[in-house]
Amino acid sequence: MKGMLYTFVMCCIFSTLTAQRGVRQRSPIYTEGTAFRNSGWLIGGGITYMLPEQRKQSLTAYFNDREGGDTLFDGDYTRAGRIGAYLEFGRHHFITNRMLLHHLDYGVHGKLFRGREQFVGTTAGSTQLIESKSTFGDLYVGAFGNASNVITLADRHYLMNGIGINADFKVLQRHNEGANYGATYNYPGFFTAQLHYKLSYVWRPEAGIYVIPSIETPLITAYPWDNTKATLQYFTDRSRPFIICLRVQWLSKHPDRSCEGQPGKGPSLDKGSRHAKNDLFGEDARSMKKSKKKANKRQERSERKGLRKKKKGEKE
């Protein structure tokens, strides 16, 4: 699992460096003035993996209150992460005319962290080998937000580097503890807030739709504060969470723009700006038309009267 994570990161870095050498103008991840808005919805799912700080570790513990330092336990710990589940749902926005910020996303998520720890060794007063196994499985729900920079790799292919935050509540805790033989077991609290890094590869199969595989890991645990550590305490060691997700996000379309009063569509009678009768002009316009008509008739009568006077004078 660790090798897969490193391989994914190295491939993304190599793609980024290769893209920087391109000279041809690539199509942007989002273009203004199209049929799509700059925002839409997202949904995703994937897996989690808890990577121990020390996969194997030899530990010896002693009594502190007895002279001679009798041994509590002496042996080897073997730790490993286990595959968990991840789901997310939210909104996203493309930002234009910004130097570094190109994309924002936020929403809610659920994640299941799982792992195990095994001890093989001896205890006080015995030379016989003993074995102890412990497992954990914690389910968190919470909210997330990311601000990302977009690098164009090729037409319809992009790379996103994001910094984000997540705040999570533990809603289900399942710890199967083996015998600890004097070792101290510790666990994360029921609320955790972290600053994380997210690396995403973006494929745009068609306009307005994006398919995004990504990998995410915390940078700092802000609450509870633990000297900037990003790992979480489980049993006798700490583990780093990794989230591998496949997201599908899409853009909302602009509403259709249709002209009012098209053939077959009568005027709306509910709007105050419309007149009740199905005619071309409103009341004010009809009054003006009548006044103009009367003025034209008066002018015509005056012209006819003047013409008759002119003819009468010519006869005389």
57-115 pLDDT, tens digit each:
988 887 665 555 567 888 899 999 999 999 999 999 999 887 889 999 999 999 999 99
Question: 302: part of which helix (H) or strand (E)?
Answer: helix 283-315
The reported pLDDT for the residue numbered 281 is 44
Asked if 154 and 168 count as a contact pair (C-beta separation under 8 A), the reply is no
Residue 276: predicted pLDDT:
46
The SS3 of residue 210 is strand
State residue 282 phi and psi, 5-degree precision. Answer: -85, -175
Low-confidence ranges of the chain (pLDDT < 50): 19-20, 22-23, 260, 266-267, 271-282
3 state DSSP class of 113? strand
Torsion angle of alpha carbons 270, 272, 273, 279, nearest 10°? 60
Question: According to the model, what pLDDT value does residue 15 have?
Answer: 52
Mapped onto helix, strand or coil, the DSSP state of residue 66 is coil
Q: Which pLDDT value is given to residue 278?
A: 44
CA distance 81 to 42: 28
The per-residue pLDDT for 176 is 95
In angstroms, the first-to-last Cα distance of the chain is 122
Q: Rounded to an integer, what is the distance from CA 267 to the centroid of its chain?
A: 43
pLDDT of residue 23: 40
The confidence score (pLDDT) of residue 315 equals 62
Tokens found for residue 281: 């002009």
pLDDT, position 59:
86
Q: Write down the residue that tokens 């994001």 correspond to.
A: 162
Q: Nearest-CA neighbor of 112 among 50, 180, 157, 40?
A: 50
Distance of CA 194 to the CA centre of its chain: 16
- d(C-alpha 60, C-alpha 39), whole Å: 56
With 0-12 CB in 10 A as exposed, 13-18 as middle and 19+ as buried, what is 187?
A: middle
Return the closest-CA partner of residue 213 out of 8, 4, 23, 19.
Answer: 8
| Strand ranges (E), 53-123 | 56-62, 71-82, 84-94, 103-123
